[in-house]
Amino acid sequence: MINDSVPAPATERYEADALILYGVKLNDRNDYARFDVGEGSLTDLRMQLFHGDVGSASGEYSVVLAYGYAFEGHCYRFDSNRVFLVTGDPPRDAVGCGFDDLGYMMWRIRASDMLLEICTNFGDAKTLILDANLPGKRSPSSYAITLRMAHRDGRLTRD
């Protein structure tokens, strides 16, 4: 019996905060990733990482459509697909967590590594702007914070 919840084995060096990201590399065939913008098959949004002012593409990077990850010997699935920009670690063929031999890749990163998450939503303006800002759907930091100041002995200053 094959256990699909076994993450990839450790490599030549153990890292306590190692994280394995499972997914597909969107910029595998080209030096850029392509996103559908809903205007037909001939219109794309292309994303490419450039380094410096010279306009040259940087070294090894991956635009990853991630499905899951492994951390501390356990496998997890994202509630929805997520897109990350991963620099540094080259992709390898996926091993473990049920992603074996299915065309998926894996990236070994550290929990302290900086990532860029690309959030993609597609819809009409009403849904993306108006409905997203209704009370209860906004992030907590966008709500008004009010402060009530009590006076001290009839004074509002400390002088």
- What pLDDT is stored for residue 1 in this prediction? 34
Structure tokens at 3: 């256990």
Amino acid at 150: A
> What residue ranges do the domains of the chain occupy?
18-121
- What pLDDT is stored for residue 125 in this prediction? 87
- Model pTM above 0.85: no
CA distance 99 to 67: 10
As separate numbers, helices (DSSP H) first and strands (DSSP E) second, the chain gives 1, 10
Arithmetic mean of pLDDT over the chain: 78
Residues 6+ apart with CB under 8 A from 38: 122
Distances (CA, A) of 32 to 7, 26, 48, 51: 29, 8, 5, 14
pLDDT digits (tens, 9 = 90+) for 69-124: 998 888 999 988 899 999 877 899 998 898 988 899 999 998 888 888 988 777 88
Of residues 6, 29, 23, 19, the one with CA closest to residue 105: 23
